[in-house]
């Protein structure tokens, strides 16, 4: 049996992680201000029949970026034998797609530290087969990373399996205890650096990927940028500060996000904060965007759109909004401005992307780019054009 050191969940409150307020009171630290899992921690990601697809966004995100885990393989029998990088971006990365758990373990050569459930089904629950597979992974000595709405630590069967196999389950979406949840206070006004949010016209449209790329582009340019995660995938990837908003009671969503941003600002003194978006403000199935706008009070918004997507994800009878209508809604709802549009190029050729960029720039009068297929400098220029003071910070830090 492989014995794995205890792992601290990035979203579970821990009694030994506390901070002291100005009046001497003790309070829990933000959800992600915990010790990072060593980058050497190995993991396989389960994404059966969904890798490279919309519902496989957690696995897709981990292949593109993972600060916490060294991803060894992805399980998806439909794409077994292929290279994950080729599937996502047309560039090999030597991380294979495996047929099943046995195949993944054989290719790993030893027992990985973690088994990550890499799908985000609309139900938010494990199927009967998936329950058995997770228990099988635990029997091999693997810790579990679970980003679903179903909290496995609350299930007696999984709790018993943890004890029997000396492993842990990280329920990424599980919020802190209700007694520790924060209401909106107005302290977001104390954050003096620019705050931008990356929102979208639909769910599963690339907001997190664009948020990561904007944050990286700024940091590489010498501007200290900090990302705030708001969903399970961003937290699994390694966002140091964040909260899975869709699992927090609505009364506390704006306050939890505000408190996390304030604490990140006080602890890190960043030049700019970039907040990951969720859902879409115009989408009737989601409310997270409204809480992100209220809790973060962003100085600017980058909007993500998929020009070829005609209907909302998972809602075939619900047409997509135009970027212009979403921009109008966001700027009416909140005291902010759209500083740029980023495109999701799904089902688009490269010439079609170029045409769309030109058309939207003329139509909207704002910078437009594709974060994945165009130079990252375009993202940097988009932000610097909106916040010229950052150029002076860039020059000072050069």
Q: How far apart are CA 281 and CA 158, in angstroms?
A: 36
CB atoms closer than 10 angstroms to residue 250: 12
Q: Are residues 168 and 186 in the same domain?
A: no
Q: What is the pLDDT of residue 348?
A: 97
User: In terms of Cα–Cα distance, which of 271, 188, 178, 185 is closest to 227?
Assistant: 271
Integer-rounded Cα Rg, in Å, for the chain is: 21
Domains in the chain, number: 2
Pairing of strands 18-20, 169-171: unpaired
Q: How far apart are the first and last CA of the chain?
A: 50
314 and 388, same domain (yes or no): yes
Query: What distance lies between CA 303 and its chain's CA centroid?
Result: 16
Say whether both 150 and 199 belong to one domain: no
pLDDT for 17 equals 25
Residue 274 and residue 167 share a domain: no
CA 90 vs CA 44, 72, 85, 171: distances in Å: 21, 19, 6, 32
Residues 232 and 160 in one domain: no
Asked whether residue 5 is domain-assigned, the answer is: no
Q: Is residue 387 part of a domain?
A: yes
In a domain, 95, yes or no: yes
Cβ 149 vs Cβ 124: under 8 Å: yes
CB 67 within 8 A of CB 57: no
Domain-embedded: residue 1:
no
Strands 225-229 and 338-343, how do they pair? Answer: unpaired
List the beta bridge partners of residue 340: 302
DSSP state of 254: H
- Whether residues 48 and 146 share a domain: the answer is yes
Is the residue at 4 inside a domain? no
- Look up the CATH number of the domain holding residue 318: 3.40.50.300
Outline where DSSP puts E strands in the chain.
Answer: 18-20, 26-28, 42-46, 70-75, 97-98, 114-117, 143-146, 169-171, 195-200, 225-229, 241-242, 272-276, 300-305, 311-312, 315-319, 338-343, 368-369
State pTM to two decimals: 0.86
What is d(CA 258, CA 263) in angstroms, rounded to the nearest whole number? 9
Main-chain dihedrals φ then ψ at residue 262, nearest 5 degrees: -60, -45
Structure token digits, residue 350: 């490269």
Q: Is residue 7 part of a domain?
A: no
SS3 202: coil
Tell me: do 184 and 320 sit in the same domain: yes
Quick: pLDDT tens for 283-329: 999 999 999 999 999 999 999 999 999 999 889 999 999 999 999 99
Which letter does DSSP use for residue 321 in this model?
P
Helices (H), 124-231: 128-139, 156-165, 207-220
Question: What is the bridge-based pairing of β-strands 42-46 and 70-75?
Answer: parallel
Are residues 102 and 245 located together in one domain of the fold? Answer: no
- Judgement on whether residues 135 and 184 belong to the same structural domain of the protein: no
Residue that finishes a domain, picked among 114, 145, 174: 174
Same domain, 138 and 245: no
Over its length of 398 residues, how does the chain's per-residue pLDDT go in tens digits?
333 333 333 333 222 223 333 333 323 333 333 344 555 799 999 999 999 998 999 999 999 999 999 999 999 999 999 999 999 999 999 999 999 999 999 999 999 999 999 998 777 799 999 999 999 999 999 999 999 999 999 999 999 999 999 999 999 999 999 999 999 999 999 999 999 999 999 999 999 999 999 999 999 999 999 999 999 999 999 999 999 999 999 999 999 999 999 999 999 999 999 999 999 999 999 999 999 999 999 999 999 999 999 999 889 999 999 999 999 999 999 999 999 999 999 999 999 999 999 999 999 999 999 999 999 999 999 999 999 999 877 777 76
- Nearest to residue 234, comparing CAs of 212, 253, 255? 212
Give me the domain span that covers residue 369: 180-397
The answer to whether residue 238 is domain-embedded is: yes
User: Which residues does 169 contact at the CB level (< 8 Å), separation at least 6?
Assistant: 143, 144, 146, 152, 153, 158, 162
Query: Do 155 and 193 sit in the same domain of this protein?
Result: no
CATH of the domain at 150: 3.40.50.720
- Residue ending a domain, among 113, 139, 174, is 174
Distance set, CA 260 to CA 232, 292, 368 (Å): 15, 12, 30
The residue from 174, 207, 242 where one domain ends is 174
Q: Is 263 in a helix, a strand, or coil?
A: helix
Question: Closest Cα partner for 301 from 194, 191, 189, 229?
Answer: 194
- Does one domain contain both 204 and 220? yes
Q: What is the dihedral of CA 284, 226, 382, 219, to 10 degrees?
A: -150
Residue 10: inside a domain, yes or no?
no
């Amino acid at each position: 049996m492989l014995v794995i050191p205890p792992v601290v969940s990035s979203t579970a409150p821990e009694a030994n992680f506390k901070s002291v307020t100005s009046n001497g009171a003790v309070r829990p630290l933000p959800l992600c201000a915990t010790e990072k899992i060593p980058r050497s921690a190995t993991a396989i990601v389960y994404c059966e029949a969904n890798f490279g697809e919309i519902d496989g966004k957690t696995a897709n995100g981990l292949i593109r970026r993972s600060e916490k885990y060294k991803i060894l393989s992805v399980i998806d029998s439909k794409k077994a034998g292929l290279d994950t990088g080729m599937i996502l971006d047309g560039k090999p990365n030597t991380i294979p797609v495996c047929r099943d758990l046995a195949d993944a373990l054989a290719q790993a050569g030893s027992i990985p530290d973690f088994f990550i459930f890499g799908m985000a089904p609309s139900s938010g629950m494990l199927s009967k087969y998936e329950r058995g597979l997770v228990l099988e992974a635990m029997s091999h000595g693997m810790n579990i990373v679970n980003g679903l709405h179903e909290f496995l630590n609350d299930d007696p069967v999984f709790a018993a399996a943890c004890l029997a196999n000396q492993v842990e389950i990280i329920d990424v979406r599980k919020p802190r205890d209700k007694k520790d949840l924060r209401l909106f206070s107005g302290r977001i006004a104390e954050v003096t650096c620019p705050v931008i949010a990356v929102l979208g016209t639909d769910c599963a449209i690339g907001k997190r990927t664009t948020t990561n790329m904007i944050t990286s582009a700024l940091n590489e340019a010498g501007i200290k940028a900090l990302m705030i995660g708001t969903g399970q995938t961003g937290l699994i990837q390694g966002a140091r500060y964040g909260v899975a908003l869709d699992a927090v009671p609505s009364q506390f969503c704006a306050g939890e996000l505000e408190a996390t941003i304030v604490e990140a600002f006080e602890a890190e003194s960043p030049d700019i904060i970039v907040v990951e978006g969720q859902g879409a403000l115009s989408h009737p199935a989601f409310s997270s965007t409204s809480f992100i706008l209220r809790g973060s009070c962003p100085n600017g918004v980058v909007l993500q759109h998929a020009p070829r997507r005609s209907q909302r994800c998972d809602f075939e009878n619900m047409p997509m909004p135009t970027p212009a209508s979403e921009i109008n809604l966001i700027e009416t709802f909140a005291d902010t401005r759209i500083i740029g549009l980023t495109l999701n190029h799904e089902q688009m050729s490269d010439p079609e992307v170029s045409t769309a960029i030109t058309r939207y720039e003329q139509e909207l009068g704002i910078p437009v780019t594709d974060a994945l297929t165009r130079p990252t400098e375009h993202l940097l220029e988009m932000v610097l054009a909106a916040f010229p003071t950052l150029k002076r910070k860039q020059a000072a830090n050069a």
